[in-house]
Amino acid sequence: MLLKLTGSSCSGKSTLAFAVADRLRDVVVHDFDEVGVPRDPDPHWRHRNTELWVRRALEYQERGLDLLLTGQSPLGEVLAAPSAPEVDGIALCLVDVDDEIRRARLAHRDSGRWDTSEVDAFLGWAAWHRGHARDPRHLPEAITNGSAPDMVWHRWTDWTAGDPRWSTHILDTTDEPVSQSVDKIEQWVVEQRAAHRSGRLPLALGWVDQTT
Angle formed at CA 67 by CA 61 and CA 72, multiple of 5 degrees: 135
Per-residue pLDDT at 47: 94
Q: Is the pLDDT of residue 108 over 80?
A: no
As a whole number, mean pLDDT of residues 108-129 equals: 84
Among 34-38, 80-84, 99-103, which is the least confidently predicted range? 34-38
Report yes or no on 70 lying in a domain: yes
Strands laid side by side in the 2-6 sheet: 27-31, 66-70, 2-6, 90-96, 168-172
Per-residue pLDDT tens over the stretch 132-181:
999 999 999 999 999 999 999 999 999 999 999 999 999 999 999 999 99
Domain range enclosing 128:
2-206
Query: What is the C-alpha radius of gyration for the chain, rounded to an integer number of angstroms?
Result: 16
Confidence check: pLDDT of 13 > 70: yes
Q: Where is average pLDDT lowest: 9-18, 103-112, 196-205? A: 103-112
Residue 211 domain-assigned (yes or no) = no
The reply to whether 64 falls in a domain is yes
Q: Quick check: 69 and 4 in contact, CB under 8 A?
A: yes
Q: Report whether pLDDT(10) > 90.
A: no
Q: Check whether 69 has a pLDDT greater than 70.
A: yes
**Average pLDDT over all residues of the chain:** 94
Which residues, other chains included, contact 181 with Cβ-Cβ below 8 Å and sequence gap of 6+? Answer: 12, 16, 171, 173
Is 74 a member of any domain? Answer: yes
CATH number for 114: 3.40.50.300
Q: How many domains does the chain have?
A: 1
> Which pLDDT band holds residue 105 (cuts at 50, 70, 90)?
confident
Query: Residue 38 above 70 pLDDT?
Result: yes
Q: Is the pLDDT of residue 212 over 70?
A: no
At residue 112, the pLDDT reads: 66
Q: Which H or E element spans position 128?
A: helix 116-134
- The verdict on residue 186 lying in a domain is yes
In-domain check, residue 27:
yes
- pTM comes to 0.93
Query: Does some domain include residue 212?
Result: no
**Angle of CA points 198, 209, 207, to nearest 5°:** 35
User: What residues have CB less than 8 Å from 209, skipping those under 6 apart?
Assistant: none
104 in any annotated domain: yes
